[in-house]
A and B are shown apart, each in its own frame.
Chain A
Amino acid sequence: MKKVYSLMFLLLLVTGLAACTGEKEESSSEAATNSEGKTVIEYWHVNAETQGGKTVEELVSSFNEQSETVEVVAKYNPDMYKGLMQNLQAEAAAGTSPAVVQVGWAFLDYFSNTFEYTEPQTIIDQHFPDDKTFLTDNFLPNILDLAVNNEGKQVGIPYSLSTPVLYLNKDLLREAGLDENGPKTWEELKTFAEAVKEKTGKYGLYIQEPADNWATQALLESNGAQMITNGKATFASEEGIQAYSLWADLVASKSALHIGWDQGVQSFIDGNVAMLYTTIAQRSNVQNNAKFDVATVKSPAWEGKQVKLPAGGAMLAITAKGEEQQKAAWEFMKYLYSVESIAKWTEGTGYVPPREGVADAENGLKQFLEENEMMQAAIDQMDVVVPWTSFPGDAGLQAEQMLIDMRDQVLSGSITVEEGLKQTQEQINSLLQ
């Protein structure tokens, strides 16, 4: 019987350890130097070996080779951006901090409210007058805005970017007598999906269903709905309900598949689904494994409306303390944002380059894009990228969870779209108060 406790204890121990680090004394944050007199800084990332970890290592070691003043130590944090936040918490409690960290978009507000950081432009202005216009020269304004928090501060610089695209099984579309270049609008997409079901008996569409509402936001906001207005949930508007209904109707008529993310993507790759709406980060998986004529197109629009796509991924923020560390942090970041490094990063991870001038540059992605045409759709839609909504405050994560729970209820048909959205919106708003 003891065994049952031991697991719970273990879980809670983790809690306990996180708490007890708070009692440690503050250690000095003097700049560490190595034997050669280089400033040593830490770079925290979440890229496991299979998710770009090798590229991180490559970039860091080639940076270290060419830099005379700085040595970077890369540190991998398991469990993605949330895991990194937890480790950063422990580190901050101990009074130390890495120099450069990856911060997932969902943690933008949380990070900037909880941790000490320095806006990149501040460090540039103080120490690197030559780079004064580096950010505005190289980044689209809507992309830079992704890393601006609710107080209007530029918390970091976008680094890993992903957007949802529509993957097409051209063979299956042709078989159903449809245009192999895919639908341009969601309305068209609906008729496509229904036609595929009718003509081939296979599923027309799968929209990704991970434990977040990223794709849902793209669907709803492209139709003019707003996930959030002035800190209040407002997705249950007429547009929101209309957009959600399209998805729910397709699932109800079995034209769209309602299943977990892994199995949904597998089913597309195995040729049982004609269209897959998911992140561009799945490109290499789809491209390497699909045995049919596969392509990607830009995220569909709603008839006559502006597409709005939430950005997935992360930014780099500077948590370095002290002048030496901060200078070293920018030197390293500037290297990471060079055309060559960003090109390597894109090739190694499947993210979209966050900055301008990479896609068509000879020393950038020109050749890569010729070989991997499926990437192009994501690059072409960079101008319609908007921030990924995170609900404010302590209950924000709970609000996010409610939307996930609602998705399963609505798509399984146990509740109507209108009821589901309105109820959930009410619950979220009473929670956020």
Chain B
Amino acid sequence: MTTTILSIKNKEGRIQKIAPYALLLPSLIVLGFFMFWPFLYTIYLSFFDWNMVSTTKEFVGFENYIDVLKDPVTWKVMGNTMLYIVLLLAVNFVVPYIFAYVVEFVLQRMKGFYKSAFFLPAFISLVVGSILFTWILNPVSGPVAIIAGWFNITIPIWSKLDGWVIVVITLITSWKIWGYHFILLFASISGISKEVIEAARLDNIPLWRIFFRIVVPMSSSTGIYVFIITIVQGLQFAFTPIKVITQGGPNYASSNVIYQAFHEAFVLYRTGHSAALSTITMIIFIFLLIVEFKFVERRIYYENK
């Protein structure tokens, strides 16, 4: 008797030990196949000269990395990427934060309307959006140019001007992602207990101080999430209008690191160059991630911790 009970117990114990791993397995397979393996393969490819077609790859050591670092285009694209990040953060992190606060605590009516109106573009494909904006913002004959013309303003030919092109592409990208960021921040802000805010109001604390001293700290866990996806997803979403409208031009003025990696690999078939650029980008982002964990993550307020 005792032995059978023991063996059953053993069996249960074993199942309990294995079960978590078994349950993890599907996602491990997916992650491994779609993330880690391609990641390693990228690093592998970055040491070879290969045109994606030929059956042989030539080992070139660090030559791709040296090429990438010596290429002035790389630095131009890095600079563009920084500008994209700054603009994306301003438009898709700071502004929706403020809007969410205003809609939740300041506005008294029409909240539902704002919520759905802001979120609506998130449903529409960015390819379609890009094509639409190409027309709407056509500096010669688009509706915006016509209206501007009534006031004797000429729209610059933004798609061919350094700087301008990044601003407009950021705005088109924002059109797509802004609503989602707004909803996330709104949900977080409306989760803050009303008593705290009411108490502050009774004490006649100005709205901007309530925002900075109460709302931001108490919604910081969502805040940091939106901060990160603004950078990370924003750069990816910008890919679509770049591809549709400028193909990285004029002379790389609208390219960011993600588009450039695509361009090198799938337009010019310089796989090694592209992989080296991707790997360098990865290293930069890993570095930023460590910085984020060290200095920011500790100060974030998680409700359930």
Q: Is B151 an interface residue (CB 8 A)?
A: no
B251 CB → nearest A CB, Å: 4
Given A1, A203, A211, which contacts B232 in the complex, CB threshold below 8 Å? A1
Give 1 or 0 for each of B38-64: 1 = CB within 8 Å of chain A CB. Answer: 110110010000011101000000000
Q: Is the interface of A mostly helix, strand, loop or mixed?
A: helix
Assess the A263–B251 pair: CB atoms within 8 A: no
Q: Which residues of chain B are near A270, meaning CB under 8 Å?
A: 140-141
Assess the B141–A267 pair: CB atoms within 8 A: yes
B177 CB → nearest A CB, Å: 12
Q: Which residues of chain B are near A260, meaning CB under 8 Å?
A: 134, 159-160, 245-246
Query: Bound state CA distance, A259 and B139, in angstroms?
Result: 9
Query: Bound state CA distance, A13 and B38, in angstroms?
Result: 5
Assess the A9–B34 pair: CB atoms within 8 A: yes
A1-B285, A16-B37, A266-B138 known; A398+B229 contact, CB < 8 A: no
Given A1, A4, A6, A257, which contacts B140 in the complex, CB threshold below 8 Å? A257
Assess the A405–B251 pair: CB atoms within 8 A: yes
Give 1 or 0 for each of A404-418: 1 = CB within 8 Å of chain B CB. Answer: 110011011000000
A363 CB → nearest B CB, Å: 38
Assess the B252–A9 pair: CB atoms within 8 A: no
Give 1 or 0 for each of A1-26: 1 = CB within 8 Å of chain B CB. Answer: 11111111111111110110010000
Q: Is A154 an interface residue (CB 8 A)?
A: no
Q: Which residues of chain B are near A263, meaning CB under 8 Å?
A: 134-135, 138-140, 142, 159
Q: Is B267 an interface residue (CB 8 A)?
A: yes
A11-B262, A15-B265, A267-B141 known; A412+B160 contact, CB < 8 A: yes
Q: Which residues of chain A are near B42, meaning CB under 8 Å?
A: 8-9, 12, 15
B88 CB → nearest A CB, Å: 13
A3-B233, A405-B249, A408-B160 known; A398+B268 contact, CB < 8 A: yes
A1-B285, A13-B34, A114-B53 known; A401+B160 contact, CB < 8 A: no
Q: Is A258 an interface residue (CB 8 A)?
A: yes
Query: Bound state CA distance, A1 and B239, in angstroms?
Result: 18
Assess the A8–B261 pair: CB atoms within 8 A: yes
Assess the B135–A4 pair: CB atoms within 8 A: no
Give 1 or 0 for each of A159-182: 1 = CB within 8 Å of chain B CB. Answer: 000000000000000000000000
* Residue among B53, B231, B239, B252 facing the most chain A CB atoms (10 A cut-off): B53
Assess the A3–B236 pair: CB atoms within 8 A: yes
Q: Is A222 an interface residue (CB 8 A)?
A: no
- Size band of the interface chain A makes with B: 35 or more
Give 1 or 0 for each of B78-104: 1 = CB within 8 Å of chain A CB. Answer: 000000000000000000000000000
List CB contacts (< 8 Å) of A241-274 with chain B. 257-260, 262-263, 266-267, 270-273
Interface size in chain B (residues, C-beta < 8 A): 57
* Nearest residue, chain B, Cβ from A257: B140
Given B37, B142, B258, which contacts A8 in the complex, CB threshold below 8 Å? B258
Query: Bound state CA distance, A237 and B158, in angstroms?
Result: 32
Query: Bound state CA distance, A2 and B236, in angstroms?
Result: 12
Q: Is B247 an interface residue (CB 8 A)?
A: yes
Q: Is A361 an interface residue (CB 8 A)?
A: no
Q: Which residues of chain B are near A3, meaning CB under 8 Å?
A: 229, 232-233, 236
Q: Which residues of chain B are near A397, meaning CB under 8 Å?
A: 267-269
Q: Which residues of chain A are near B142, meaning CB under 8 Å?
A: 263, 266
Q: Which residues of chain A are near B55, meaning CB under 8 Å?
A: 22
Q: Which residues of chain A are near B253, meaning CB under 8 Å?
A: 408
Assess the A272–B141 pair: CB atoms within 8 A: yes
Stretch with Cβ within 8 A of A (4 or more), from B201-209, B212-220, B274-282: B274-282
* Nearest residue, chain B, Cβ from A89: B53
Q: Which residues of chain A are near B34, meaning CB under 8 Å?
A: 6, 9-10, 13
Q: Which residues of chain B are near A10, meaning CB under 8 Å?
A: 34, 38
Query: Bound state CA distance, A32 and B41, in angstroms?
Result: 36
Contacts A/B (CB < 8 Å), 17 sampled:
A1-B232, A2-B35, A3-B229, A6-B35, A8-B38, A8-B39, A9-B42, A11-B262, A12-B42, A15-B38, A19-B41, A257-B140, A259-B159, A263-B142, A266-B140, A397-B268, A408-B160
- Top 9 A-B residue pairs of the complex, sorted by shortest distance between their CB atoms: A408-B250, A270-B141, A4-B232, A267-B140, A9-B38, A12-B38, A13-B38, A408-B251, A12-B42
Chain B contacts to A: CB under 8 angstroms = 34-35, 37-39, 41-42, 45, 51-53, 55, 131, 134-135, 138-142, 157, 159-161, 228-229, 231-233, 235-236, 239, 245-247, 249-253, 258, 261-262, 265-271, 275, 278, 281-282, 285, 289, 292
14 more A-B residue pairs beyond the given contacts A9-B42, A15-B265, with a C-beta to C-beta distance below 8 A: A3-B233, A9-B34, A11-B265, A259-B157, A260-B134, A262-B245, A263-B134, A273-B140, A394-B269, A398-B270, A408-B249, A408-B250, A412-B160, A412-B161
